[in-house]
Amino acid sequence: MRIEIWADVVCAWAYIGKRRLEKALAGPARADAGAEVVWRPFRIDPTAPDQAIPIEEAYRDPLVDAALRQCAPGLSPAENRVRVSRIAADEGLGLEWGAAWRASSHDAHRLLHLAREHGSAALQNEVAEQVMKAHFIDGDDISDRRRLKMVAIRSGFAEGEELLDTDAGDREVRELLLIGKARGITTSPTIVVGDRALAGAQPPEAIADFLAGGDSKREMPEEVQRLRWAESLLGRHDPLGALALLKPLLDDHADDLNVRRIAARGYFHSAQLTRARDLLEQLIIDAPDDSYARLMLGRTLQRLGNESQASLHLKMATAMTPEFA
């Protein structure tokens, strides 16, 4: 069974969730079942500065304070920190607990990705352990590559020391963040098995019950899955993300009508109107009965200020599909 953990390594609940998952996997129901745990990136603080700042200074930022209050309604940030620290201690993470820095986790996610790519899921899991220990227990700035290199060495991933100085893993991590968004991941941690997801650092018993549901998943070609993810991002108002996921399909399957339709929507909703127009004009030549393509072309031409041509295509789209009126 493959168990994916979509989580941010600067999220306290991710570390707590890791311990709870380990307890669930060690239980009698799962002890001999075998499982591959794979860490996937999530960002709870995508606006964290490249240069880390002391956490106490960050807490004085009104925006950070407001975000923390939303995470724990009814509690002040200080009260919530005490609560989380107690829970962490109960999970065996020690009494000395708490991040010292508001730090970007991007390079840490690169290190996790590279550990699996160049090593194994087990190595990646150890890197995740050591990164979160550094952040929450040792008080290290994990956005500092010098610190991350030490983490890599302690984890048995010496190769990661040199890889961190390159852009290795950068594209893959950014793409995985988009895939997570397309799949509806909104909480750190979220455990995913097959097509099922369990959000939050649930108790070990709840995790064990979830895992007992198995890992059934509808298999589909990678190209179809990528197309669906791009559609999902459009539905989540992220046209640039949709285009980023769609790029390999545009490179390799540029003649596919579905690929071109979704790309045209991405260009339109990201205000790349000239690209949308060019793609749609060719699309209605190749598929003259595509009323939706004509509708999109008409709306694109409207936004480009070409009312006369826009009117022609909108009338044709309505005649073909009256619901477009």
Q: What is the pLDDT of residue 31?
A: 56
How much is the pLDDT for 29? 66
Reference 192, options 215, 224, 176, 175; nearest CA is 215
pLDDT at 70: 66
Q: pLDDT at residue 48 above 70?
A: yes
Mean pLDDT of 153-161: 96
Predicted confidence at residue 202, as pLDDT, reads 96
What's the pLDDT band for 153 if we cut at 50, 70, 90? very high
Q: How large is the average pLDDT for residues 167-176?
A: 97
- Encoded amino acid at 205, one letter: E
- Give me the residues paired with residue 192 across strands: 4, 197
**3 state DSSP class of 36:** strand
Residue 215 neighbours by CB distance under 10 Å = 14
- Measure the CA–CA gap between 250 and 260, rounded to whole angstroms: 8
Give residue 137's pLDDT. Answer: 95
pLDDT given at position 30: 61
Contacts of 324 (CB under 8 A, 6+ apart): 291, 292, 295, 314, 317, 318
What pLDDT sits at residue 96? 78
Q: Rounded distance, CA 136 to CA 96, Å?
A: 9
Q: Number of C-alpha atoms within 13 angstroms, CB side, residue 60?
A: 4
- Residue 110 neighbours by CB under 8 Å, 6+ apart: 164, 168, 169, 170, 173
Reply yes or no on whether the pLDDT at 109 is more than 70: yes
Is residue 238 scored above 90 in pLDDT? yes
Beta pairing class for 101-102 and 190-193: unpaired
pLDDT (tens digit, 9 = 90+) per residue, 60-100? 888 777 777 667 677 777 788 888 999 999 999 987 788 99
For residue 198, list its beta bridge partners. Answer: 191
CA distance 79 to 101: 18
Q: Provide the 8-state DSSP code for 107.
A: H
Q: How much of the chain exceeds pLDDT 90, in percent?
A: 80
How many Cβ atoms are within 10 Å of 197's Cβ, its own excluded?
A: 17
132 vs 99: CA distance, rounded Å: 9
Coil, helix or strand for 191? Answer: strand
Mean pLDDT of all residues in 42-55: 92
Task: Evaluate if residue 101 carries a pLDDT over 90.
Answer: yes
214 by Cβ neighbours in 10 Å (0-12 / 13-18 / 19+) ranks as exposed
| Of the candidate ranges 70-74, 206-210, 219-223, 260-264, the one whose mean pLDDT is the lowest | 70-74
Cα–Cα nearest to 145, from 119, 173, 167, 176: 167
Residue 60 has a pLDDT of 84
Give the pLDDT confidence score for residue 154 in this predicted structure. Answer: 96
Sorting pLDDT into bands at 50, 70 and 90, what band is 325?
confident
Give the percent of the chain with pLDDT over 70. Answer: 97
Q: What's residue 74's pLDDT? A: 74
Q: Which domains can be identified in the chain, with CATH numbers?
A: 2-211 (3.40.30.10), 222-324 (1.25.40.10)
pLDDT higher than 90, residue 135: yes
Which of 83-92, 113-122, 148-157, 173-182 comes out lowest in average pLDDT? 83-92
Q: How far apart are CA 114 and CA 16, in angstroms?
A: 23
Q: Would you say 199 and 6 are in contact if contact means Cβ atoms under 8 Å apart?
A: no
pLDDT given for residue 247 in this prediction: 96
Give the count of alpha carbons within 13 A of 151, CB side only.
32
Q: What is the pLDDT of residues 192-208, one digit of tens each?
A: 999 999 999 999 999 99
Q: What is the pTM of this model?
A: 0.92
Task: With a cut of 70, say whether residue 54 has pLDDT above it.
Answer: yes
Structure tokens at 307: 């009312």
Residue 27, helix vs strand vs coil: coil
Q: Read off φ and ψ for residue 6, nearest 5 degrees.
A: -90, 110
- Sign of dihedral through CA atoms 178, 183, 184, 188? negative
Q: In which band, very low, low, confident or very high, does the pLDDT at 237 lie, cut at 50, 70 and 90?
A: very high
Task: Give mean pLDDT, residues 258-280.
Answer: 97
